[in-house]
Amino acid sequence: MTRKIRLGISTCPNDTFTFNALMNRLIDWQGLDFDVELLDIEQLNVRLFNGDFDVAKVSFHAALLLADESVVLPSGSALGFGVGPLLLSAQKNEMPKDETQITLCPGKHTTAALLFQLFYPQTTQVSHVVFSEIMPQLKSLQADFGVCIHEGRFTWQDEGLGLVEDLGTRWEKETKSPLPLGGIIARTSLAKDTIATVQNVIYDSLMFALADHSAALPTMRKHAQEFNDEVLMKHVDLYVNDWTKDLGTIGRNALNTLSDRARDIGLIPADGVNLNVFDM
């Protein structure tokens, strides 16, 4: 019997680029039957907590909380240097300083929210909204700060907003490590050979995309917040790299560093499980 895999991925361009060939069955599914759903990253996090997916792209913040029942796949991650969320301000030259101010984050379990918690603890009030609402709400002065992800990294200056800090750059300076944003996790309730096959199909889909970048553009445009092809490809160039192909030793060490930092602030217990990468 064909094994159905409930797969959840985000609508961000690096995922629609990576998974275009899988979604459109341009590659061999190797005996599996994928049921794919595309959602905002925080919706994916929540749905995974609810048990709705066998395999899903999630924030590594969320993955930390599911580390005892899942493994990170070697391929499909967003991890690197210069890829971090930006802390933006509604008015230039403002800094987070007290609870009369409001900071918007793109979801309680996003790595962006974890970074704000790491670097600006006990400063402002935090409110969580869909990532695409952050810049519009800053422009209309409904909030003071926002942690911006996805395409907004390339368009925030056009919106007249201020840059407080590149949170990824700060992570890199403090840890000497690439920033792990999100990855593909599989539930350990799946058979090991099934997880291995899922990994192989995802890798094949990524390699298909890398061989012909333009083939994925229709799918990317369909789900993106930004329709400028140049911006979409800048997003891919930034977030799809050698660590997306395979986390390798550096990627695995970065996940251990994130686990340690999360443990330092009590996000996971002192004896909590580190993020574990699937061993083929």
Asked if residue 114 lies in contact with residue 45, where contact means CB atoms within 8 angstroms, the answer is no
150 is catalytic: yes
Of the candidates 66, 76, 6, the one whose C-alpha atom is nearest the C-alpha of residue 38 is: 6
Give the separation between CA 265 and CA 229, rounded to whole angstroms.
40
What's the longest Cα–Cα distance across the chain? 61
Candidates 61, 150, 213, 235; catalytic one = 150
| Residue 114, number of CB atoms within 10 A of its CB | 24
Q: Which residue in this structure is represented by tokens 């991650």?
A: 77
Instruction: Using the Cα atoms of residue 68, residue 111, residue 218 and residue 241 in order, give the sign of their dihedral.
Output: negative
DSSP secondary structure string for all residues of 160-201: TPEEEEEHHHHHHHHHSS-EEEEEEEEETTS-HHHHHHHHHH
DSSP secondary structure string for all residues of 18-81: HHHHHHTT-S--TTEEEEEEEE-HHHHHHHHHTT--SEEEEEHHHHHHTTTSEEE-SSS-EEES
| DSSP conformation class of 159 | G
Instruction: Using the Cα atoms of residue 43, residue 19, residue 278 and residue 241 in order, give the sign of their dihedral.
Output: negative
Asked if residue 80 lies in contact with residue 211, where contact means CB atoms within 8 angstroms, the answer is no
Could you give the residue numbers annotated as active site? Answer: 150
